[in-house]
Amino acid sequence: MQKKYNAIILLSVVLIILIASFIVIQLNFNILGYVLPSRLKKVAAILLVGAAIGVSSLVFQTLTENNLLTPSVIGLDAVYLFIQTILIFVFGTFSALLANTYVNFFISVILMILFTLGLFKLVFKKSVSVYFILLFGMVMGTCFQSLSNFMHMVMNPDDFLMLQDRMFASFNTVNSRLLGICAVIILIMLFIIYRKSHELDVLSLGKVHAMNLGIDLDKLTRALLLVVAVLVSVSTALVGPITFLGIIVCNVTYQFMKTFEHRLLIPATIAISAITLLVGQMMTQYLFDGNTEITIMINFAGGLYFIYLLFKEGAHD
């Protein structure tokens, strides 16, 4: 057990070193009053988004008993892009809905959560398996993506340019006024998940064993899927969609920690997720001089890793 705690300490030390490096590299002391708050804002956003996406993917994979799935599979990323597309398409670039940061943020979060709640209510009312959620979510995600693509083709070019900025996750344009709100929501959701860590450990044994050991499977699944929806919605509305981050982070965490205890997996996942985002942001900002987006790098690496995992799982069958 001590080795597991040592591994978490090691990850924490690496994370602290990376944060310090990100802050001090190429730091111009002549404009310190501008550069330092900007970098601290990016670090805060990276920690919040990393925790939200990493832990939500960890919980989602435990619920579905599949290490290749993430919450984006149920279509939340596509719903976010559809919401942003339809707001710009219907109301225009200079609409008050887009100009007001809080209104746009809460509209995006609330609509994504309502979509998830509607999906879960439809599914659980019929007492079908969680895999039906995944299938239905993939179909709905494809539907929303197709509608978004149609509107992209017919919308004003100036509106489309504005929309492009929201199609890729970016920590350079994070609104500092939203960080406090997101921090409160994400920390509350993480606390709820940590309180459920022992039940998640039992669920890792399999649904049959969990039910035999007294776990109310339907109640636990509903509660945790709602928490997952809130985490993904808040993080996506804050910086944009990052599709493959959860797959990378969770599977690396499993390999590194080699344990099923979620009270250990949760902090390790948060640390590895933040480390991944920090490395990606440092490469984007310092190596490529800001000429590419962190989403492109993570999705490229995550896509390759996903293919590797598919072949690895296939080899075991």
Q: What CA–CA distance (Å, rounded) separates 315 from 142?
A: 29
pLDDT digits over 92-128, tens only? 766 666 667 778 788 878 887 887 777 766 655 555 5
Which one of 14-23, 68-77, 126-135, 158-167 scores highest in mean pLDDT? 14-23
Locate the domains of the chain by residue range.
2-9+43-316
pLDDT-derived band at 168 (thresholds 50, 70, 90) equals: low
C-alpha separations of 111 from 33, 139, 163, 214, 228 in Å: 37, 18, 18, 34, 15
pLDDT number for residue 270: 94
Taking 3-state DSSP, the helix, strand and coil percentages for the chain, each rounded to the nearest 5, stand at 85, 0, 15
Round the average pLDDT of the chain to a whole number and report it.
82
Residues 6+ apart with CB under 8 A from 203: 62, 63, 210, 215, 217, 220
208 pLDDT more than 70 = yes
3-state secondary structure 270-312: HHHHHHHHHHHHHHHHHHCCCCCCHHHHHHHHHHHHHHHHHHH
Fold designation for 2-9+43-316 = ABC transporter involved in vitamin B12 uptake, BtuC (1.10.3470)
